[in-house]
Amino acid sequence: MDDLKPNFTPFDVGIKLHSGQPPRNHHEVKEMESKPYRQAVSSLMFSATVSWPDVFVVTMVSRFLHNPGLDHWHAVRRIMKYLQGTRDLAIRYKPDSTELVIYSDAHFTGDCDTRQSATGYMSSLAGGPLTRCSRRQKCVSRSTTEAEYLAAADAATEVVWLHGFLSEVGFQLDKPTTLHVDNQNAICLIKNTEHHKHTKHIDIKYHYIREHVENN
């Protein structure tokens, strides 16, 4: 893989990976037998966990270890091309920046097999990423607003934990933590304490984000 042409994005957003993309003919079956798919994904998982925080897309290709097709293999190669193109980049932290910031986002019905949405969030401190998460939501969201709301609630849980952890190690946060959410309806739902009939089905554990917003 050393001679792969470098790429500067780890995934093609126009590609939809799902379990209905197994080898479709004898030629593809034979070709996939020669591809070290499982070994490649395992190596990428190590990189994503230890040193390359922006290749969390590895969690997506890892769902198809049992029966991958060429589409899945091409996605793995795309990640490797990205590593090739960004191998000289590094994260730089600034000691004079002490504000904790967190960003949340959701991919509505992103899983083609289960139609579950994906939650993503990343916290930043000293000008660089501190913690990050990308995972499928436990329930199927019925709207983009709901998916974004659940992602924001998970991010709020992370903020509360980070405040406690940083306090334990002697790092005091002077300002309230800003949570960036890119969906106006979700933001209105977070700030509005009135009970909405359209959100009764959302689990009470996700509504606690309102209490933390009120308490800054």
Taking only the tens place, the pLDDT of each residue in 39-56 is 999 999 988 888 887 887
pLDDT at 100: 93
**Rounded Cα distance, 178 and 213, in Å:** 10
Q: Residue 165 — φ and ψ, nearest 5°?
A: -65, -50
Count structural domains, the chain.
2
- 98-157: pLDDT as tens digits: 889 999 998 876 666 667 888 899 999 998 989 988 888 877 777 888 889 889 999 999
**Rounded Cα distance, 99 and 147, in Å:** 27
Q: Which of 8-22, 173-187, 196-210 has the lowest mean pLDDT?
A: 196-210
CATH code for the domain of 192: 3.30.420.10
Domain span including residue 22: 1-90
- Residue 95 inside a domain? The answer is no
For the chain, the straight-line distance linking the first and the last C-alpha, in angstroms and rounded, comes to 49
Long-range contacts of the stretch 93-98 (C-beta < 8 A, 24+): 93/125, 93/126, 93/127, 93/128, 94/126, 94/127, 94/128, 95/126, 97/125, 97/126, 97/127, 98/125, 98/126, 98/173, 98/174
Q: Same domain, yes or no, for 190 and 107?
A: yes
One-letter amino acid for residue 1 of the chain: M
Q: Same domain, yes or no, for 72 and 145?
A: no
Q: Same domain, yes or no, for 202 and 115?
A: yes
Q: Same domain, yes or no, for 151 and 190?
A: yes
Q: Same domain, yes or no, for 64 and 158?
A: no
Looking at 45, 67, 90, which one is the last position of a domain? Answer: 90
- Residue 162 inside a domain? The answer is yes
**Rounded Cα distance, 70 and 192, in Å:** 47
Residue 164 scores a pLDDT above 90: yes
Looking at 30, 56, 90, which one is the last position of a domain? Answer: 90
- 8-51: pLDDT as tens digits: 898 887 777 877 666 667 888 888 889 999 999 999 998 888 88
Q: Same domain, yes or no, for 138 and 85?
A: no
Q: Are strands 101-107 and 178-181 parallel, antiparallel or unpaired?
A: parallel
How would residue 195 be classed by pLDDT, with cut points 50, 70 and 90? low
pLDDT at 74: 92
**If we measure between CA atoms, which residue out of 118, 93, 87 comes closest to residue 105?**
118
pLDDT at 110: 64
Looking at 36, 60, 90, which one is the last position of a domain? Answer: 90
Residue 67 scores a pLDDT above 70: yes
